Structure 1
Amino acid sequence: MAEQKKWEGTVSTILENVNADQIWPFWKDFFSVHKWFPGNTTCEGIHGNNGEAGCIRYCGDLPVPAVDGAASSWTKERLIAIDHNEKSFSYEILDCNIGVKSYVANVKIYPVVAGENGGGCRTEWRFTVDPVEGWSLEDTVRNYEVWLKIMVKNMEAAVPK
């Protein structure tokens, strides 16, 4: 039996009115994704120090269905690496009840020149995952596009004026 190829996806979005330095603090706070991610009402650190490689977070009430019949969906995610100079980090899903296996993602913030203040940034979210039963790669990428846009707009709104 041939091994099924991993899914890979990349989504990105641009904010014109805030720069990479203003957005990065929200991303590097690994234990606060629930503040920005739509539908995720719980995120707490369960191992290690927030923002340090090796720390683990528990995220609950995700916007995807649980596959084990549970009332809510959850993941446990480990921060693999973080680079404050490059404004990037990688993380993986260690365990979950949403049917995802072998998931690794990278988030990177790039500076761009845009907007009336001559600043801006682009956030890019790349992922690799084993195909998920009942999902399609196209729908998964579309969901990530929507989630990323909502997340960065929420972050932008939280930047002190």
Structure 2
Amino acid sequence: MAEESKLKWEGKAIVELPGTGAEAVWPFLEDFCNLHKCFPIDTSYQVEGIQGQPGLIRYCASTIKGDDAADETTIKWAKEKLLTIDPVQRCLSYEIVDNNIGFKSYVATLKVVPVNGDDAKLAGCKIEWGFVSDPMEGWSFQDLKSYIESSLQFMANKIDQLECSEN
């Protein structure tokens, strides 16, 4: 319960891709405005800025269906701004600048780390997703952490599938 009362929620999720090298995974994250290709959302696209440059803003959205036929569907969306990007270190950071999900302040850092150094013959990497957020109304810290962990696992599985279909 200590996390619940903190002024900021801070955490990290890590997923390992034992058969896929960092050099194959990084392009999926580096392609900031095409997140929907490997993340469980319906759409993402560039709103403003220059591709691959800090200041780039993407719009991400998903349609959420109600629990029963009488419930309306809603669109949950966020605009996210690329803060930093480093293709050599394979990391980027972004912040949510506007949304209807409930984030007041949210900054994330994604990093692709080779598991066996940069030896491409010994493929394998991990994706690290760190975050700092204001507490969200109606959510617990664990809710947010679980959402990030499951989304990251989805992303890793999708990248593995896409990589296997290309090879």
TM over 0.5: yes
Deviation at 1:80, TM superposition (A): 0.3
Cα deviation, 1:4-58, whole Å, max 9, x if unaligned, reads 51000100000011100000011000001111111x1110101012221110000
Q: Percent identity?
A: 39
Give the distance between the partners of 2:132 and 2:160, measured in 1 at CA.
27
Deviation at 1:70, TM superposition (A): 7.7
- In the other structure, the counterpart of 2:16 is 14
Secondary structure in structure 2 of the residue aligned to 1:113: coil
* Matching residue of 2:160: 156
Secondary structure class of the residue paired with 1:18: coil
Gaps of 5+ in 1: none
The aligned residue for residue 124 of structure 1 is 128
Quick one: distance in 2 between partners of 1:70 and 1:79? 29
CA RMSD across the alignment = 2.0
Q: Structure 1 stretches (4+) deviating beyond 3 angstroms? A: none
TM-score by length of 1: 0.88
1:46-73 residue CA offsets vs partner (Å, 9 max, x unmatched): 101222111000011167x9xxx98211
AA in 2 matched with 1:9: G
Structure 1 Cα separation of the partners of residues 37 and 57 of structure 2: 17
Q: 1:41 — aligned with what?
A: 42
Report SS of the residue matched to 1:34: helix
Letter in 2 for 1:15: L
Paired residue for 2:78, among 70, 75, 78?
75
Distance 1:8 1:75, change over 3 A: same
Q: Give yes or no for the alignment of 1:95 onto 2:75.
A: no
Take 2:13 and 2:109, find their aligned partners in 1: how far apart are those partners?
Answer: 11
Q: 1:107 aligns with which of 93, 106, 110?
A: 110
The structure in which a higher percent of residues are helix is 2
Distance 1:26 1:36 in 2: 7
Give the paired residue count: 152
Which residue identity does 2:27 align to in structure 1? P
How far the C-alpha of 1:113 sits from its partner, in A, is 2.9
Q: 1:26 aligns with which of 13, 25, 28?
A: 28
For residues 86 and 7 of structure 2, what CA distance do their matches in structure 1 show? Answer: 29
Per the normalisation by structure 2, the TM-score is: 0.85
